[in-house]
Amino acid sequence: MTANNGLKMLFVINPGAGNTNNKSWKESIEQYYQGKDYSIDYFMLPEQPVSADLKRYIDDKKPGRVIAVGGDGTVTMVANIIQGTGIELGILPGGSANGMAKELGIPEEPDEALDITENGEIRKCDTILINNKNSCLHLSDIGLNAQLIKYFDEGKLRGKMGYAKVILKTLWHKEKMQVIIHSKALEVRRHAFMVVLANASKYGTGAVINPEGKIDDGEFEVIIVRRLSVIALVKMLLKPGPFNPKHIEIFPSTSVEITTLKNVHFQIDGEYMGKVNNITAKIIPGNIKLLLPPLKN
């Protein structure tokens, strides 16, 4: 632990995230780090977080390590602020699905997750730069899943039950998109229910959309979901398992432009971004330092 003596650590806690218990997380952090030679600080996110406020705080305090305590949206907001700075990013999973934490093998048990914030292996991981302004660590998509996230955000019920409640509404309003996908290697036109930009392999429920996805391989995958049955949608939202490979197409890429004939729903790492009809995306290799469980031999 001597290499980390005196290290400044900032815990960014989102009390409004899915299953985050503000009091218990802070108590767990204080108990875990009690008597250890670290400088521990907290930033409590308000109900409507303003990333500029957090950025100013980080710029002023200059922590060496920032820990996002919340769901994928909290992780993404912190990552957007510290990417490219050399500041290390840790994750304490406190959201509804915790897709990024599950992808990275970070346990939900507080002491086990806290151990990674202290002793985790530091790995440089990629991000996807979207529309030259937003970064994606995990999964972004247009179409049906983004539409469901919109309905979920508008509802009051959190967790898997909240997702289950909005499935029927999403299915009732589902429709295929006409999309044009263009990159250096290909141009395809499809009718699809979803198009995913995947820096990782699976959604927070464990549904595997991108079996070969890795967050540090210097590329991302464009996944076209041509068919999506009720059963497949339920599986995507509520239980782990792979998508039917007959219903999807996967194209590895380092940059891409996606155009739709009309505006469609769009989300980045679980955060609904509104409607769009054009998206550009490119990989930024090794853009962020993540604290991860040690790799198994």
Lowest mean pLDDT among 143-152, 159-168, 220-229: 159-168
- Please give the model's pTM, rounded to 2 decimal places: 0.85
Mean pLDDT of the chain: 86
pLDDT band of 156, cuts 50, 70, 90: low
Residues 41-75: tens digit of each pLDDT: 999 999 888 899 999 999 999 999 999 999 888 99
The per-residue pLDDT for 235 is 63
The per-residue pLDDT for 295 is 74
The structural domains of the chain, ordered by start, are 2-119 (3.40.50.10330), 134-283 (2.60.200.40)
Mean pLDDT of 282-296: 91
**Taking 90 as the threshold, does the pLDDT of residue 229 lie above it?**
no
Please give, one letter per residue, the 3-state secondary structure of the chain.
Answer: CHHHCCEEEEEEECCCCCCCCHHHHHHHHHHHHCCCCEEEEEEECCCCCCHHHHHHHHHHHCCCEEEEEECHHHHHHHHHHHCCCCCEEEEEECCCCCHHHHHHCCCCCHHHHHHHHHHCEEEEEEEEEECCCEEECCEEEEEHHHHHHHHHHHCCCCHHHHHHHHHHHHHHHCCCEEEEEECCCCEEEEEECEEEEECCCECCCCEECCCCCCCCCCCEEEEEECCCCHHHHHHHHHCCEECCHHHEEEEEECEEEEEEEEEEEEEECCEEEEEEEEEEEEEEEEEEEEEECCCCC
Which of the pair, 236 or 185, is modelled with greater confidence?
185
Residues 94-137: tens digit of each pLDDT: 877 787 888 899 998 999 999 999 999 999 999 999 999 999 99
